[in-house]
Amino acid sequence: MTQRADQTRPGDGPARAYDGPGASSAVRGINPRITAQISYSIDSTIPGEWHLRIIRSAIPAGRVTGFQTALLDDDVIFLTADDVSDLNTFGCQIADQVVLTREPKFVGDAIAAVVAPTARDARVAASLVEVDYEAVPSVFGEMDAIAPGAQLVHAKHYTSESDSAYFDMRPQDGTNVCHRFRIRTPALQGRDEPEVVPHLDDPDDALADAFADADVIVDEVFHTPAAAHVPMEPHATNAQWVDGRLEVTTGTQTPFNMRQDLAHIFGLAAEDVRVVVPFMGGAFGAKTFIRTEAITALAARKAGRPVRCVLDRDEVFNEVTRHPSTVRIKLGAKRDGTFVAKRIWAYVNTGAYADCGPGVAQKMGYAGVGPYRFDHVAVDSYCIYTNLPPGGAFRGYGAMQSIWAAERVVDMMADKLGIDAVELRRQNLLHEGDTFCTGEVMHDARFEELLDDAAAAVGWEKDGDRRGKGVVVILKGMQTPSKAEARIELLPDGRYEVQAATADIGQGAGEMLTRLAAEYLKVEVDQVVVCAPDTDRVPYDTRTTSSRSTHMMSRALADAARDLQVHGTIGHGYVSNDGGLDPDTGQGIASSHWHQGSASAELEVDDETGIISLSTLYACSYAGKVINKHGAELQNEGSMILGLGTALFEELQYTEGQMTNPNLSDYNIASALDVASIRHRVMEVPGGEVHGLGETAVPPVPPAIGNAVATFGYDVRDLPMTPERVLAARLGDTFQSPTGEDPQ
């Protein structure tokens, strides 16, 4: 056997993805990810570093009244809220967080920390600290938290200066609603309406005339639970202060937001913070904005030495989740199937802190409208504080929750009207030049091809027997507004180095950048290397989220290559997509281009057990032009597999706010045993634009399965569609969630 162990010792100094100039090509030779010849964040170390453990609240709401630390060794450093008094609050869209809190707002909130010479010492020390609390009443469900008179999670509302707060917030004073987003198409604007609609049976009198032309109305409520990202690599951060400058090596999808937020927290200039991003062992949204970085930096400052923080698996589960949501949809149509109006109320449970919940609420709002024409659309999306762990970005970004409801409702409407469910969709699809509910005109619309493709995949015949079959078509936005910058530098050895902040979360960013640069520069791929995202070396990028990187970075790189050809050794490229929506009317530019997709399912349901057996699960996602065929396929397959878990078994459970399944034996994710039915297509068109694909196939999967299940008479409203829920849906029972908290 060949001996290679020596090459993989943890390196000295911060690890660097791709290892900068001189690194091997991202696309030639055996890929080093297979043979563990790359360093992830967790593999990075700084010589002499100590180890951090966070002490977390055991109560969902209240005050810390004291700590007993008598048993701690003398060399252990103990940090509490007293150590953060000179630090600023933070939060990517609402600055509602402190680095260590006296007033915990969820079970798991960081209230103190210990730093010790070894990881084991730190673990022991953390277990020796006793905490005294004074509890206050708490609230967990989104509908409970929006109810009049609900316990307030935060005594007041905050704002944020961060770049990530890219739209105006509409906090509702005296309530747990930290942001309200609305869409009102022109005829519905300027009405006298309640500020907050807290009840799922609200008659909606102010806008009832929107449905005047509808012969049939379907008005139903759906629920999705909290879910876990489960990046295989936990959050891992190393921090040190070098001559007053903060250096953080961490797995993050948002290196420039991280730099800005850390600078703000510690009162530094942005240039005095350096964020280096090694490879990540998966993220799916879990590694966005401040996670372990601020506390590790604080500990390094107090310890006067480098500090490392790696989360345990149960901490990863509690660090950030997917927003539990309740979505009510009211759809009105004429007897001939023409859609007239749509009304959506989305209640988004953002947990104890807003994080990017306001943005998620906004996307949930318009994704639920779907790729259809309406005379009138009105949407209310409420981002609601509760005493659960914070919800954050999650592959699918809010779209999944409302599409689960919206596409089930389209099938219900088809049943009521006696119209074929695919034909009903076709009849109402948005086409090129049609106007979306935000006022923007659709371009590059591919919905009909996508719908036909998904229908064909399950042998759908117009007005044929559709038992066991479901078809869904969706649209989803991309981060707008955003900016991307890239630099290409000609190295002395004649190769080209791409400098870009797109983080490699496993989606193949290195390969994508390499292939694109080679194409634009008209050189071989092995003449291109890509440097690690390091805020000292690469230009600004909004962030690696919302499947925006391929689309935005491809244009920035093309620009940089052109610039290089003109200017010699360094080329700069810059693109921005402008837009944004008015928070009160939802008018404006939701997305500079649309992610478009479809899915279909064919399945059986066992009447005895409620078990769903898929024979086909299919998704088709519009890619326009594909840069890296395998990468595109992997993204599409991975999205479907995540969607499958969401549909059938993924659910975080809580008892009195305490997560009861924060481990991989009680929280199941899909394995190789679950994928036999999966087929898919990445749709290209000649001359198409480059479209991102990172999550398009997540949202359509649950309703495709749900619609197929419903053909057998099981009307499941709450995800996941576990066997118990399927059986309960047949009996018409309302399913009590295992948490004992009513899911709606």
Partner 1 sequence: MNLTLNVNGRAVDVDAEPHDMLVDVLRDQVGLTGPRVTCGVGLCGTCTVLLDGEPVSGCILMAPLAQGKEITTIEGLPEDDEVVASFDRNHAFQCGYCIPGMVLTARDMIDKGHACSREEIREGLGGNLCRCGCYLKIIEAVEEAAQ
Binding site for partner 1 (CB under 8 A): 1-10, 30-31, 33-36, 38-40, 42-43, 229-234, 279-282, 284, 312-313, 505-508, 630-631, 633-634, 637-642, 663-665, 669-673, 675-676, 678
**Helix (H/G/I), strand (E/B), else coil: 682:** strand
Range 231-260, binding ligand FES (CB under 6 A): 232
Q: What is the 3-state secondary structure (H, E, C) of 27-49?
A: CCCCCCCCCCCCCEHHHCCCCCC
- Under the binding rule (CB under 6 A), the answer on residue 510 touching ligand FES is no
Burial tier of 243 (Cβ tally within 10 Å: 0-12, 13-18, 19+): exposed
For residue 112, give both structure tokens. Answer: 């103190």
Q: Least distance (Å) from ligand FES to the CB of residue 107? A: 24
Q: Least distance (Å) from partner 1 to the CB of residue 160? A: 30
For residue 200, give both structure tokens. Answer: 């799922």
- In 3-state terms the chain splits into helix, strand, coil percentages (rounded to 5) of 25, 25, 50
Nearer to partner 1, 612 or 701 (CB): 701
Nearer to partner 1, 319 or 420 (CB): 319
Q: Least distance (Å) from partner 1 to the CB of residue 111? A: 24
Question: Could you say which of ligand FES, partner 1, none residue 85 binds, taking C-beta under 5 to 8 angstroms by partner kind?
Answer: none
For residue 455, give both structure tokens. Answer: 């229908």
Question: Could you say which of partner 1, ligand FES, none residue 359 binds, taking C-beta under 5 to 8 angstroms by partner kind?
Answer: none
Least Cα distance to 721 among 574, 623, 590, 614 occurs for: 614
Question: Could you say which of ligand FES, partner 1, none residue 468 binds, taking C-beta under 5 to 8 angstroms by partner kind?
Answer: none
Q: Least distance (Å) from ligand FES to the CB of residue 504? A: 11
Q: d(Cα 568, Cα 563) in Å, to the nearest integer?
A: 8
Number of alpha helices (DSSP H) and beta strands (DSSP E) in the chain: 14, 26
659, containing H or E segment? strand 658-659
Nearer to partner 1, 566 or 672 (CB): 672
- Under the binding rule (CB under 6 A), the answer on residue 135 touching ligand FES is no
Q: Least distance (Å) from ligand FES to the CB of residue 638? A: 8
Beta strands 654-655 and 658-659, pairing class: antiparallel
Q: Compute how many residues bind ligand FES; rule: CB under 6 A.
A: 3
Phi-psi region of 459 (alpha: psi -120 to 50; beta: other; left: phi over 0): left
Nearer to ligand FES, 33 or 537 (CB): 33
Q: Least distance (Å) from ligand FES to the CB of residue 40? A: 11
Name, in order, each residue with C-beta under 8 angstroms of 372's C-beta and a sequence gap of 6 or more: 339, 342, 425, 428, 429, 430
Binding characters for ligand FES, 214-233, by CB under 6 A (x = yes): ------------------x-
Name, in order, each residue with C-beta under 8 angstroms of 415's C-beta and a sequence gap of 6 or more: 421
Question: Could you say which of ligand FES, partner 1, none residue 665 binds, taking C-beta under 5 to 8 angstroms by partner kind?
Answer: partner 1
- Under the binding rule (CB under 6 A), the answer on residue 631 touching ligand FES is no
**Helix (H/G/I), strand (E/B), else coil: 76:** coil
Q: Least distance (Å) from partner 1 to the CB of residue 313? A: 6
Residue nearest to ligand FES (CB): 232
Nearer to partner 1, 373 or 680 (CB): 680
Nearer to ligand FES, 81 or 634 (CB): 634
Q: From the CB of residue 174, how many other CB atoms can be counted at a distance below 10 Å?
A: 13
Question: Could you say which of ligand FES, partner 1, none residue 319 binds, taking C-beta under 5 to 8 angstroms by partner kind?
Answer: none
Assess contact for 112 and 78: CB atoms under 8 A.
yes
Nearer to ligand FES, 233 or 411 (CB): 233
Nearer to ligand FES, 282 or 285 (CB): 282
**Residues 202, 204, 206, CA angle at the centre, nearest 5°?**
150
Q: d(Cα 460, Cα 317) in Å, to the nearest integer?
A: 40
Range 698-737, binding ligand FES (CB under 6 A): none
Give the DSSP per-residue string, 197-217: ---TT---GGGGGGGTT-SEE
**Residues 468, 471, 474, CA angle at the centre, nearest 5°?**
155
Nearer to ligand FES, 23 or 670 (CB): 670
Nearer to partner 1, 1 or 269 (CB): 1
Question: Could you say which of ligand FES, partner 1, none residue 675 binds, taking C-beta under 5 to 8 angstroms by partner kind?
Answer: partner 1
Least Cα distance to 277 among 21, 118, 510 occurs for: 510
For residue 287, give both structure tokens. Answer: 């590694």
Assess contact for 692 and 547: CB atoms under 8 A.
yes
Question: Could you say which of ligand FES, partner 1, none residue 642 binds, taking C-beta under 5 to 8 angstroms by partner kind?
Answer: partner 1
* End-to-end CA, the chain: 59
Question: Could you say which of partner 1, ligand FES, none residue 1 binds, taking C-beta under 5 to 8 angstroms by partner kind?
Answer: partner 1
Q: Least distance (Å) from partner 1 to the CB of residue 544? A: 13
For residue 131, give both structure tokens. Answer: 């905490």
Question: Could you say which of partner 1, ligand FES, none residue 589 binds, taking C-beta under 5 to 8 angstroms by partner kind?
Answer: none
Q: d(Cα 592, Cα 477) in Å, to the nearest integer?
A: 8
Nearer to ligand FES, 233 or 420 (CB): 233
Q: Least distance (Å) from partner 1 to the CB of residue 612? A: 18
- Under the binding rule (CB under 6 A), the answer on residue 506 touching ligand FES is yes
Task: Kindly tell me the sign of the dihedral angle through the C-alpha atoms of 515, 517, 518, 522.
Answer: positive
Q: Least distance (Å) from ligand FES to the CB of residue 282? A: 5
Q: Least distance (Å) from partner 1 to the CB of residue 574? A: 29
Question: Could you say which of partner 1, ligand FES, none residue 525 binds, taking C-beta under 5 to 8 angstroms by partner kind?
Answer: none
Nearer to ligand FES, 198 or 282 (CB): 282
Nearer to partner 1, 85 or 665 (CB): 665
Nearer to ligand FES, 283 or 367 (CB): 283
Q: Least distance (Å) from partner 1 to the CB of residue 8? A: 5
Q: d(Cα 153, Cα 138) in Å, to the nearest integer?
A: 7
- Under the binding rule (CB under 6 A), the answer on residue 282 touching ligand FES is yes
Assess contact for 281 and 233: CB atoms under 8 A.
yes
Q: Least distance (Å) from partner 1 to the CB of residue 22? A: 20
Q: Least distance (Å) from partner 1 to the CB of residue 356? A: 21
Specify the length of the chain in residues: 744
For residue 462, give both structure tokens. Answer: 């117009």
Interface residue list for ligand FES (CB under 6 A): 232, 282, 506
